[in-house]
């Protein structure tokens, strides 16, 4: 008999019927068992998030498909991502979109995967400063471009920046983004989240806060306040207290993005350029 690998918080197994069941110890939480699947043509699954998975197709490209093929929200988010990427078109700092597939979305593979994986597999002090500074500038250009097209990413963090064969950066994962009437309803995690009412509509400022927090990760190899609890981080951010970046490359720009002195990605690009000129 097949056994459930998904359990409630008390350790008891979740029924295999594919329906939501209330957690015995937490009535506000419902869980369902989802049987793993791979669409035809996927040779290997190599990554995934809460709603979607990534797998290789036989031609070496990538298929992004719903983790649960009956999850209508996941399918809606992929449809949103399709419309956004189609509207953005080709751009060197945005993941290369190859179009719709019967079971999801088709992408060009980024050989070095995402920045977090790349940096986590190496000693951060062995990654050249020049390369990390290049990522900062490329990330700023990526976000400036999508904002110029009316797209708010809504979930900027190191995992959503891919690295190609030459270690150049590409912004990815627009399934939770905001574009006109399309809203994937994503939200940043704590260390990339501008303190605000969670019901507030995301905007350029919220993306920018997440972006400079990502810069901090590029430069330092860790998230802001990674040793503190989420509640402590939120409290400090709310009080306007941020990590010391005095000796960090582009530190003044990062701080300005955190405090709101810089309010949009275009200003951010100009500030980075000015910082480079001042150090030249």
Confidence band of 15 (pLDDT split at 50, 70, 90):
confident
Query: How many Cα atoms occupy the beta-carbon half-sphere of 172 within 13 Å?
Result: 24
Mean pLDDT (whole number) for 101-112: 96
Spatial distance between the Cα atoms of 78 and 52, rounded to a whole number of angstroms: 9
Q: Say what the alpha-carbon torsion angle 256, 257, 261, 264 is, to the nearest 10 degrees.
A: 140
Percent of residues, the chain, with pLDDT higher than 70: 91
Confidence band of 48 (pLDDT split at 50, 70, 90):
confident
Q: What is the DSSP string of 5-43?
A: S-B-TTSPBPPTTSS-EEETTEEEEEE--------TTEE
Strands 178-179 and 182-183 turn out to be antiparallel
- Cα dihedral 224, 225, 227, 232 sign: negative
Q: 115-279 maps to which CATH number?
A: 1.10.510.10
Residue the block writes with tokens 């979305």:
105
With beta carbons less than 8 A apart as the criterion, state whether 218 and 118 touch: no
Q: Where are the alpha helices (DSSP H) in the chain?
A: 72-88, 115-120, 129-148, 204-220, 230-238, 251-259, 265-279
Q: At what angle do helices 265-279 and 251-259 cross, to 10 degrees?
A: 160
Mean pLDDT (whole number) for 182-199: 95
Identify the H or E element spanning 173: none
Rg of the chain in Å (alpha carbons): 20
117-131 in b/e form (b: 16+ CB < 10 A) is ebbeeeeeeebeeee
C-alpha 52 chain-centroid distance = 13
- Top CATH class of 42-107 equals alpha beta
Least confident of 65-79, 173-187, 219-233: 65-79
Predicted model pTM: 0.88
What is the overall mean pLDDT for the chain?
91
Confidence band of 7 (pLDDT split at 50, 70, 90):
low
Mean pLDDT (whole number) for 17-41: 72
In tens, the pLDDT along 110-126 reads 999 999 999 999 887 78
All CATH 1.10.510.10 domain ranges of the chain, comma separated, are 115-279
With beta carbons less than 8 A apart as the criterion, state whether 106 and 63 touch: yes
Q: In what order do the strands lie in the sheet with 182-183?
A: 151-152, 178-179, 182-183
In tens, the pLDDT along 208-248 reads 999 999 999 999 999 999 999 999 999 999 999 999 999 99
Spatial distance between the Cα atoms of 23 and 13, rounded to a whole number of angstroms: 10
All CATH 3.30.200 domain ranges of the chain, comma separated, are 42-107
């Amino acid at each position: 008999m097949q056994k459930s690998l998904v359990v409630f918080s008390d350790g008891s197994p979740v029924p295999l019927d594919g329906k939501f069941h209330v957690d015995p110890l937490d009535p506000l939480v419902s869980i369902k068992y989802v049987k793993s699947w791979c669409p035809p043509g996927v040779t290997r699954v190599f990554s995934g998030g809460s709603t979607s998975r990534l797998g290789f197709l036989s031609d070496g490209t990538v298929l992004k498909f719903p983790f649960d093929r009956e999850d209508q929200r996941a399918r809606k988010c992929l449809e949103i991502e399709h419309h956004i990427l189609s509207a953005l078109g080709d751009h060197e700092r945005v993941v290369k979109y190859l179009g719709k597939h019967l079971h999801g979305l088709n992408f060009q593979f980024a050989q070095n995967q995402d920045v977090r994986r790349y940096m986590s597999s190496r000693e951060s002090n062995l990654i050249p400063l020049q390369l990390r500074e290049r990522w900062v500038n490329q990330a700023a250009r990526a976000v400036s471009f999508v904002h110029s097209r009316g797209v708010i990413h809504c979930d900027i963090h190191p995992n959503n920046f891919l690295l190609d064969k030459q270690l150049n950066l590409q912004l990815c994962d627009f399934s939770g983004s905001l574009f006109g009437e399309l809203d994937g309803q994503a939200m940043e995690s704590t260390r990339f989240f501008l303190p605000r009412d969670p019901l507030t509509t995301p905007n350029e400022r919220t993306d920018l806060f997440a972006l400079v927090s990502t810069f901090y990760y590029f430069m330092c190899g860790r998230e802001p306040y990674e040793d503190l609890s989420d509640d402590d981080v939120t409290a400090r951010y709310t009080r306007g207290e941020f990590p010391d970046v005095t000796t960090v490359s582009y530190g003044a720009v990062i701080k300005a993005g955190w405090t709101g002195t810089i309010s949009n990605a275009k200003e951010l690009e100009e500030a980075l350029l000015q910082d480079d000129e001042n150090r030249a």
